[in-house]
Structure 1
Amino acid sequence: MLTIHGVTRSRASRIIWLCHEIGLEFRQVPVIQAYRLPFPDAPDAPLNTHSPAFLSLSPAGAIPVIEDDGLVLSESLAANLYLARKHGGTLAPAGLAEDAQMMQWSFYAATSIEPDALTILFLHARTRLQSGEDQALVANAAERLVRPLSVVEGHLATHPHLVGDRFTVADINMAEVLRYAQGYGELMTQFPATMAWLEGCQARPAFRKMWDARNAEPE
């Protein structure tokens, strides 16, 4: 059985969403991020990304990591592409060209969107007073995202999904990256087709199942 190392409040959410979409059973080992713990190296600390047991599996000390039939694989987007290809179905590429397109959109999400989207996620908080420095960092990140999001918008304005005009693993990978910036309305309202697509992805039962599990975990 597939094993996913990582709490759901992490990039493991992408893999868990995919598993629910394709009906793939998995075992989850709830490894938590060390930065979320006051004393991650304490002897009684919960299993975390500093724990020797986890570092023996993942020297990079980052979640998620999957184990599948002897394969140990980190990097959540790569894990999703691998699992989709392995198990097939409509979420997987139908051929070499679709495989390349799914990798293209996944890599684009990781390199051109995710860094600035994470800045927005961590610093844009409506429930607390932001410092002027944080506001400036968020505004700068949003400005840098206009160009890559315009590319996504241009595609989704004429296509229902990223690849093959159907929901695929590429949509999961991109949607989970864009979720980080979703709460910043000043940015996202500029891209109505992208927002409609994202809301449609998040209305899927498999996403809701993952999201309920995520919300059930401690913050």
Structure 2
Amino acid sequence: MGLTVHGIAASRALRPLWAATELGLDFQHVATPYQGGATRTPEFLALNPNGHIPVVVDARAEGDVVVWESMACALYLARHHGVADGLSITPATAREDAEALRWSFWVMSECEADALTVLMHRVVMPVERRKPELADVAERRLAVPLRVLEQHLAQQQARGEAHLAADRFTVADLCVASVLQWLRPVRELTEPYPLTREWVRACVRRPAFAAAQALGVR
């Protein structure tokens, strides 16, 4: 039996790589880039017919379990390879599990596309290829979910919990922070949301995040 994660950290594969690292799992990392045709080989398409990373292959006694979609990969690892002891990133109660599910789906539906647009057209793409008007629209849309998250974090602080689902870092924080950390270079966008900004900063300061990022090129 063994666990394999296909992908590189300079992609959405960061999510399962980060989760596996937080959990201290012994896993094989297959550094599969999203460019150059590596995800279009017959061997890879047999794992994920969509031709995208990441893919997690969990070799279990009852047979291999193959998981794709980055959030699903992270949630799967927390649920099936973590311990629900109230200490790890694994949800320990029904409430924590519900929070992990809802915030992971929320960030994908409400934030990811616009956050990626902002990152690409404010930071990553060559200046001559950027379209600031697209980033402007994306930033205006992001104001709504960022207010929702800021309000939730305020409510959590009021109940003595500094994270999304509990008083500790869980897979809920990992999944949401993996998206919202794309906004960190655009400081003026996050300035109106100090709790969110500090929460993201705390998430990405975790040693497991840095360790997972180091898997971006190998």
TM-score category, normalised to shorter length = 0.7 to 0.9
* Matches of 1:77 and 1:203, distance apart in 2: 20
Asked whether the 8 Å contact 2:90–2:171 carries over to 1, the reply is yes
SS at 1:125's partner residue? helix
* Matches of 1:29 and 1:213, distance apart in 2: 10
Q: How does the TM-score come out when normalised to structure 2? A: 0.87
How do 1:10-159 residues align onto structure 2 when only pairs under 5 Å count?
A: 10-34=11-35, 37=36, 40=37, 48-68=38-58, 69=60, 70-86=64-80, 87-88=82-83, 89=85, 90-125=88-123, 128-130=126-128, 134-159=131-156
Figure out how many residues of one structure are paired with residues of the other and give that number: 204
Post-superposition offset of 1:19: 1.3
Asked whether the 8 Å contact 1:58–1:65 carries over to 2, the reply is yes
- Please tell me the residue identity of whatever aligns with 1:143: R
Asked whether the 8 Å contact 2:146–2:193 carries over to 1, the reply is yes
Of 166, 190, 193 in structure 1, the residue corresponding to residue 168 of structure 2 is 166
* C-alpha distance after superposition, 1:157-209 (max 9, x if no partner): 24210002211000000000101222112211121111101111111111121
Asked whether the 8 Å contact 1:73–1:79 carries over to 2, the reply is yes
Name the residue aligned to 2:159. Answer: none
- Please tell me the residue identity of whatever aligns with 1:147: V
SS at 2:127's partner residue? coil
RMSD over equivalenced CA pairs, Å? 1.8
Name the residue aligned to 2:177. Answer: 175
Among all aligned residue pairs of Structure 1 and Structure 2, give the percentage whose two residues are the same amino acid: 40
Post-superposition offset of 1:126: 7.4
* Matches of 2:124 and 2:102, distance apart in 1: 33
* Matches of 2:151 and 2:128, distance apart in 1: 33
Post-superposition offset of 1:71: 0.2
Distance 1:127-1:84 versus aligned 2 partners, 3 A rule: closer
What stretches of structure 2 of length at least 5 have no aligned partner?
Answer: 157-161
* Matches of 1:127 and 1:56, distance apart in 2: 32
What stretches of structure 1 of length at least 5 have no aligned partner?
Answer: 41-47
Q: How does the TM-score come out when normalised to structure 1? A: 0.87
Asked whether the 8 Å contact 1:124–1:130 carries over to 2, the reply is no
Post-superposition offset of 1:130: 4.8
* Matches of 2:78 and 2:125, distance apart in 1: 38
SS at 2:192's partner residue? coil
